[in-house]
Structure 1
């Protein structure tokens, strides 16, 4: 089955996580054979100097036979980071109230238009 065939399969269940300029889409989809798999898509907004913008998207296909190993390694990596660095967010890029110092970008209007992204745009 090609990647295009996978993309065209039925969407069963979806959740969205908005994280600043990034949005994560978690989608359960169905194959033609009726089995389920998970797609995780990261969409990041980039603003050009003229005020226009575009999105870069990265997608992971995760199948049931890989769930256990993926979950174990993800939890291990997150625990390692928390143990090493704690849970406090140090980078101001990840703080909700961070406003970029560039005069051409209005954070509130950019954020508003960013939240209008739908999975169909991907």
Structure 2
């Protein structure tokens, strides 16, 4: 019984999904719903690598964010980005001008 519940939890359909490709990594932002109808966010980092036989494989890391943590997470994210922007070495600041932190995807 518990196995079915766990399977159902991880096989919930995405309500909204967006991905970002960054070199060998892809980040997925997926909004899902709980059984009670609340939304939560999963952020997945998928990193491509090749095994010994040269077959491509993917290593995945996943974060689950629930509604009660959204605001705290956003505050910490914004604080972290502002710190990086104001304390980054000069060459990183130049990179950011040409498409880093301030580059907004349409």
Say whether residues 1:66 and 2:69 are aligned partners: yes
Query: Number of paired residues?
Result: 89
- Aligned with residue 35 of structure 1, among 31, 38, 44: 38
Supply the RMSD in Å over aligned alpha carbons: 2.0
Stretches of structure 2 that go unaligned for 5 or more consecutive residues are: 96-106
Stretches of structure 1 that go unaligned for 5 or more consecutive residues are: 90-122
- Aligned with residue 75 of structure 1, among 44, 67, 78: 78
Say whether residues 1:18 and 2:24 are aligned partners: no
Is contact 1:10–1:31 with CA below 8 Å preserved after alignment?
no
Deviations 1:42-90, CA, capped at 9 Å, x for gaps: 000112454222110000000111011100001111111111114345x
2: CA distance, partners of 1:83 / 1:35: 36
SS at match of 1:32: coil
| Shift in alpha-carbon separation, 1:69–1:11, aligned structure 2, 3 A | same
Greater RCO (CA < 8 Å, at least 6 residues apart): 1
1: CA distance, partners of 2:36 / 2:19: 26
- Aligned with residue 59 of structure 2, among 56, 59, 75: 56
